[in-house]
């Protein structure tokens, strides 16, 4: 039997890891796939750098389209990153009747609907396990392992850079800017860390997870996204005092109004397993009606962790290349004609508990004013911390935890608090999820 030939687009960290894993574990992989898998060629930006990797038997080129158009290649593995040229290559590969494996979360989140439709029309597969949470097989778990379940919600720490920063802030009392600089020095964060610390990377991943969990089209533009750059060491400390830890969480939840899609800093009870995921690790908690809560934990990035998911996708593709396309696992878990029109809800319709921190004048009657604001709106307060004022300061920090409430109502409450003459603006808000 002729081996299945693969073409790599990109030979960076993940591309090199993929080639290395395929070569090192070739015998084991062929036993699982039922056929030998060979990397025929790889498109790279820098030939000299790629040649120095010493990957044997792989033809190197700077022309990605020559790989995509090679009639001997059956599977194109897109590991370049970016969207525009990557989309062009993937669409051309599908037009050529080739199957595609990608680790590109932005590509899938932004253009997946179009890509999957083209693949369905041509009878091709597009596999993207490595696009979310690196080496954790979370997509396969939701799409196949939990296929019997109605999934109520999922929540995940799906960006290792943000998790590293918040872990260091909690464990060592450091400030955000200080830890970010270290993350950049260690290679955890890019020179421009916006995608990581402002939640865009996590929003790409949440878009994909929500689609396969609820059977809805990919809708990146509907994800509410908030970063962690405004989190202070004081907030981390106060949260701990209240029995919580702050994590940068992606949350997708079905509600009576539709589906909530949101990425933001979140207080989680310290007893929860998800609150104890530290450093650059990732974890996703999925709550299904039959299986109950299931937790998936592991490395969310790295050469071989991500390569593990890429190679697993290649194996899946090879196993089912000759199968009737109608009998393959659907890209978004549900049959394409059965995708739901469940609409994303607006931010005002979110429901959450809240952590609020405000600076108030150190004078009688302030707490009564604050309590009156929430009482008038019917917002229940669960806990209050009033801290001592700093030396030579006339303001005191007040920290509140509320019960679950509609976000639109909380917006009104915060506006009323900020209108009080005794309260300095702005009031800091962080959402709270019990994950129970």
* Catalytic positions, written as ranges: 205
d(CA 9, CA 44): 7
d(CA 209, CA 276): 22
CA 19 to chain centre: 25
Measured between its terminal Cα atoms, the distance across the chain in Å is: 52
d(CA 77, CA 10): 8
- Strand ranges, E, within 13-160: 37-43, 59-61, 75-78, 99-102, 126-127, 151-157
d(CA 236, CA 285): 22
List the one residue out of 88, 142, 140 whose CA is nearest residue 111: 88
Give the three-state DSSP class for 353: strand
d(CA 361, CA 378): 24
d(CA 349, CA 156): 21
* Strand bridging mode 351-361 / 423-432: antiparallel
CA distances from 391 to 92, 94, 235, 360, 363 (A): 66, 67, 19, 15, 16
């Amino acid at each position: 039997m002729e081996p299945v030939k693969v073409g790599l687009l990109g030979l960076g960290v993940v591309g090199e890891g993929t080639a290395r894993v395929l070569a090192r574990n070739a015998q084991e992989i062929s036993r699982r796939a039922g056929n030998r898998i060979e990397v025929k060629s790889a498109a790279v930006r820098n030939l000299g750098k790629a040649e120095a990797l010493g990957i044997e038997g792989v033809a190197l080129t700077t022309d990605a389209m020559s790989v995509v158009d090679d009639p001997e290649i059956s599977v194109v593995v897109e590991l370049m990153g970016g969207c525009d040229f990557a989309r062009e290559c993937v669409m051309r590969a599908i037009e050529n009747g080739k199957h595609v494996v990608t680790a590109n979360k932005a590509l899938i989140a932004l253009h997946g609907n179009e890509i999957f439709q083209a693949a369905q029309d041509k009878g091709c597969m597009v596999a993207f396990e490595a696009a979310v949470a690196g080496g954790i097989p979370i997509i396969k778990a939701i799409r196949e392992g939990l296929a019997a379940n109605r999934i109520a919600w999922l929540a995940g720490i799906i960006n290792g850079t943000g998790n590293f920063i918040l872990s260091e802030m909690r464990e060592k009392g450091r400030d955000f800017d200080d830890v970010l600089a270290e993350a950049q020095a260690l290679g955890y964060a890019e020179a421009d860390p916006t995608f990581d610390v402002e939640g865009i990377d996590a929003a790409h991943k949440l878009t994909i997870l929500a689609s396969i969990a609820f059977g809805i089209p990919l809708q990146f533009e509907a994800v509410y996204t908030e970063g962690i750059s405004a989190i202070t060491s004081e907030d981390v400390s106060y949260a701990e005092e209240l029995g919580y830890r702050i994590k940068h969480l992606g949350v997708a939840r079905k509600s009576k109004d539709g589906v909530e899609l949101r990425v933001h800093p979140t207080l989680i009870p310290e007893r929860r397993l998800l609150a104890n995921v530290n450093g650059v690790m990732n974890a996703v908690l999925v709550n299904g009606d039959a299986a109950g809560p299931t937790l998936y934990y592991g490395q969310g990035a790295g050469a071989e962790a991500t390569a593990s998911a890429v190679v697993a996708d290649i194996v899946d593709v090879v196993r089912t290349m000759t199968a009737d396309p109608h009998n393959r696992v659907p890209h978004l878990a549900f049959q394409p004609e059965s995708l739901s029109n469940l609409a994303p809800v607006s931010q005002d319709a979110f429901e959450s508990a809240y952590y609020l921190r405000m600076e108030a004048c150190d004078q009688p009657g302030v707490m009564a004013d604050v309590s009156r604001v929430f009482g008038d709106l019917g917002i229940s307060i669960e806990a209050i911390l009033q801290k001592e004022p700093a030396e030579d300061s006339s303001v005191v920090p007040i920290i509140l935890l509320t019960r679950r409430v509609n976000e639109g109502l909380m917006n009104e409450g915060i506006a009323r608090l900020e209108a009080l003459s005794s309260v300095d603006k702005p009031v800091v808000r962080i959402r709270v999820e019990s994950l129970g």
